[in-house]
Chain A
Amino acid sequence: MYSKFLEMCGFEPKEINEEKDRIEETFKILKIGEREITAAEKRVEHLYSIELPCVRKILKVWINELIDLVMAKEEKKKIIYAIMPSPAESYLAAMLASDKLYVGYPDYVFQIGLGAIFGNLNPLLEAAERYGMTPGGGHCGLNKTRLGAHALGIIPVGDLSMAWGIVCDEGPKTDELIHEIFGTPIVYLDRCQDDPLDLFPKINKLSVDYMVGEIKRAYAQFAEVAGVEITNELVVQAVGILFGYMGWLGKVQELMRGDPLPLSQADMILFIMVTQLCIRDYDAATEAVKMLHEEVKQRVEDKRGVLPEGAPRVLWGNHFPLPDPGIVKMVEEVGIASPLSEIWYLATQPPGKVYDDPIETIAHRFLEIGLMTSVTGRVKDVIRLFKSWNLDGILWFNHAPCKVIGTDSLMIKKALKRELKVPVIVVEGDIYDARFYNRQQMRTRVESFAEMLKTHQKRAV
């Protein structure tokens, strides 16, 4: 039933056979039957460049992540859950501490695994809506995914939830809700977002010190639960692994400057997301990203791409939607190339400075991203990216339910129009819940915007 699909996603028949029990148990828990597999085959074929071995390889990494998450308790692992936004390297260090632990971001894994690949995320979102995140209440689909997975019992109750409140309020509140309903022990991490608007790119020392203290406090609680410590050596090792991968990804990102756009962002999402959470198989992911680099380099040299040469190019505000890569495809079909997204580009940069205390480096890297500090910091980053990438406009895909990255779109649009004097569109969307918008309606707006971009291009010439 599932062999053809898994082979499309890079599995060898031998691997499928060896992993048969785990695969079947996972699919059973996730209620993935014949119908879902058939739908996923079509979906993967349409959305991803599966003719490329590197894309198949990274799809396999994600499916394995899905299996590892669902099977964690059955395989007698202690489970530590993480939430976003948080620095992935801090969890990668925790994961490296012991192979008897499952450390991960369940929501992200489901967003990619169940959402992007299987197109079957909605049951989780709907379950969360029955457990306190009421529909229409402006709740984030990422948090709904985590709560819904608990509500449906498709992931085990964790041994510890490390609830990062360093950016948003709803993320840790979701963990508090999970704690109250399902009993997951919890440790909260905190940060205040009180920087004056003109401070960025300077870093608020008080904020760094507080964040460092919070991470260390959480690590102490982790050690109590996990029975192992996250040492500085582990953090350094984690940073090495993550930045090693990021280095290759950065090279691919640079190649996206090529005209025509050499690769669909639908494919890129699968590679970028590896940097946003801790995965178990960095070796396979790194091999895949190196292969991707070779492929994209060749395409740039051959002047091959997914859009015609000269297509208008935009900065994608926020990041590309996770469970619905079809939106990215739609924008590309309309004739707009988006070589980078604001958040993911910034979040995959190495730290500006390395400190003796690796936790301090983590905190600094986080706070070097403008949107983590202030609306004007965010605008400064966007303007810098816009200018250095020689773009024609900005497509701001607003994550409307988010109280952090979705509540500054009007302020940002005004500032960008004033500073850059280029076409800017704010599309009311949702990066974690495709039910939020109507794709056709969105397409009509994006088509009009594409015309505006083309006019702007001609006038600029």
Chain B
Amino acid sequence: MGLYERLNLAIAQRPLQLQQAKDSGTRIIGISGLGYVPEELVYALGAIPMRLVRGGDPEPLAAAAGYMDRILCPFSRAQFGYRILEEESRYQIIDFLICAITCQHMRRVADVWDLNTDVEIFRLGVPHAHNTEAGLRYYLEMVRRLKEKLEAFLGIKLNEERLREAVILYNRMRKLLREISFLRKSTIPSITGKDIFKLMHSSFYLDPKEMVEILESFIAQLKNNEGKEGAAKHRILLTGNILAMGDYKVIEMIEEAGGIIVMEQFCGGVRHYLDNIDLNGDLLESIARRYLQGRAPCAFMRPSRERINLVVKLAEEFKVDGVIWYQLRYCDTYNMEFFYFNKIMKEVRFPVLQLESEYDVEEGGRLMNRVESFMETLERRK
């Protein structure tokens, strides 16, 4: 079986696996708020962590319109829209939802689930002052409270050894993702940006042990394939706030227009797999440190310049020709940050294209025109 066949089969089989697990008493714990909830905790307690990261479709937004104000970003509205549409099993199957209170948009996701479903909610406060000792202490305390809440909900005490095993497993998964992703440093990358996203999003969904096996088989084969896929014209770094599972239109447009995404910097992009949890010292503290401080901060955090510096570093390391900033409508902090992001990127001479989406089917043509024009600009620079 080929690499992708195996991956696709695993994805196809997952809903049934989950249902069977649930039927046999295993609890499924939903996770909202992307990279700020330690999945390792859930896994170590014998439950199945399920990140809610679907997006890109207009239908869930229409469904959520009577519950959530339109000025919220489309990703946050979609997180409830999928639930009430009842077309997406992962939004139906969860028994408990951990909501990282990252930005105001995601805070409302917690509210709307809390008010309109019978799923138990835990709000995990994420300090925006990510680089302070007080911020770390707060987050660590919330992680401890989450642990206690889950222990009570699941009727099981957290075993230190199981937590360590979970951390090792997730560390391994992130390390493999990083290795695969970094193969794109090559002049002729052996994997496309779209496939990287697919792998990453699958890692939020599939059983981590199975995912590790899949990633190991990918890396073995991709290393052999290096340089065999043919060079795309333009090397692109794609960045922004959230690229949801299923929201692949921009990736496809870039690839259709002759680009290859050699790096992506989103909340669920490189920052997800760049750093790992330190196994030395108090493990819960190491987990808190990695989740809050080990990743370059999102735009809603303060200060957030470190993330822009990371983009510059990655753009240089991966020898990109241009940077595409993909933001979601009404995401106020990312929209504002673009103003000085663009200024900084100009100073280091990387051309930048800003795209915005509200998950509307009609925006495709407009976005494609802009991507094509950008590629022509890059062509002229060569």
Contact = CB atoms under 8 A, between A and B. Distances in A.
Interface string B297-337: 00110111100000000000000000000000110110111
Interface residues of B, number: 47
Contacts of A131: 339
A39 interface: no
B332 A407 contact: no
A213 B127 contact: no
A247 interface: no
A165 B128 contact: yes
Contacts of A180: 305, 340, 343
A172 B103 CA distance: 13
B236 to A, nearest CB: 23
Contacts of B225: none
A406 B66 contact: no
Interface string A394-421: 0000101111101111110000000000
A70 to B, nearest CB: 25
B340 A181 contact: yes
B107 interface: yes
A250 to B, nearest CB: 31
A145 to B, nearest CB: 15
Q: What 7 pairs between A and B have smallest CB-CB spacing?
A: A132-B339, A192-B125, A194-B125, A403-B104, A190-B129, A194-B123, A180-B340
A35 B67 CA distance: 47
A170 B333 contact: yes
A133 B332 CA distance: 8
Given A138-B330, A407-B104, 4 more contacts: A138-B71, A194-B142, A197-B111, A401-B71
Nearest to B112: A411
A169 B340 contact: no
B180 interface: no
A41 interface: no
Interface in A119-141: 131-134, 137-140
B127 A168 contact: no
A134 B335 contact: yes
B107 A410 contact: no
15 contacts: A132-B335, A132-B337, A140-B332, A163-B302, A165-B302, A169-B103, A173-B299, A173-B337, A176-B337, A192-B101, A193-B107, A196-B123, A206-B138, A210-B127, A410-B67
B67 A193 contact: no
A195 interface: yes
Interface string B178-205: 0000000000000000000000000000
A173 B333 contact: yes
Given A190-B302, A411-B111, A132 B336 contact: yes
Nearest to A168: B104
A177 interface: yes
Interface string B74-115: 000000000000000000000000000101110110011011
A87 B305 CA distance: 27
Interface string A170-209: 1011101100110000101110111111000000001000
A133 B336 contact: yes
B302 A192 contact: no
A190 B336 contact: no
A375 interface: yes
Contact of B332 (A138, A213, A398, A409): A138
A400 B128 CA distance: 24
B288 interface: no
B132 interface: yes
A447 interface: no
A214 interface: yes
A408 B138 CA distance: 26
Most chain B CB within 10 A, of A194, A197, A404, is at A194
A398 B69 CA distance: 10
A207 to B, nearest CB: 8
Interface string B325-357: 000011011011111100100000000000000
B126 interface: yes
A192 B336 CA distance: 21
A217 interface: yes
Given A170-B332, A213-B134, A375 B111 contact: yes
A194 B114 contact: no
Of A163, A169, A174, A186, the most chain B CB neighbours within 10 A belong to A169
Contacts of A139: 332, 335-336
A194 B101 contact: yes
A206 B145 CA distance: 11
Contact of A173 (B115, B124, B125, B300): B300
Contacts of A134: 335
Contact of B124 (A174, A177, A194): A194
A25 to B, nearest CB: 31
A268 to B, nearest CB: 28
